[in-house]
A and B are shown apart, each in its own frame.
Chain A
Amino acid sequence: DAGITQSPRHKVTETGTPVTLRCHQTENHRYMYWYRQDPGHGLRLIHYSYGVKDTDKGEVSDGYSVSRSKTEDFLLTLESATSSQTSVYFCAISERQGAYSNQPQHFGDGTRLSIL
């Protein structure tokens, strides 16, 4: 499948600590996305990037920041983790974006984050 690596795969941390998740791609795709997956909800978009240093908020962006300094890496940071941010986080990539581009998103294997 698409060359997407998420790290770490699992993390347990305490409330109030900073956490950074990394997404690395080898496909040279322009668009990268961070989602969270919670029971009873579909995947929800946190932030996305449309190029190096170009990012925008998704529907659940509060408490999260992102950075993209290179095409291949997209970082998600929880500045001060809270228990409500316990979730499974997925990174996705796509070549193009736009309602009629019909480009599928390809997903990483996820990061399971527990905040105690």
Chain B
Amino acid sequence: GNSVTQMEGPVTLSEEAFLTINCTYTATGYPSLFWYVQYPGEGLQLLLKATKADDKGSNKGFEATYRKETTSFHLEKGSVQVSDSAVYFCALSEYSGAGSYQLTFGKGTKLSVIP
């Protein structure tokens, strides 16, 4: 079956530091890839997505590139802010047959940014 593996947290960074959260996936076909974010006290929300190989998703200064050759979708941001403190989830969507799409999430990585 499909799976998503992302780096274990928690990750603690100082403000303006560079962020990388690694994500790799296993899928049988050609999935779409996502990063979702959960800010404290809020529900998960989509941060960015990429639907085919070499696509780059970007939003709020975050970027991730769909790398089919390495089955990866690493999340990066050049300069983090305190307001980026949240839990980040990598996810994939793939047609699983029987009229259903399977959306699979990683375990989440908690990011804390300190001033």
Bind each other: no
User: Measuring CB to CB, which residues of chain A are less than 8 angstroms from any residue of chain B?
Assistant: none
**Contact surface of B with A, Cβ cutoff 8 Å:** none
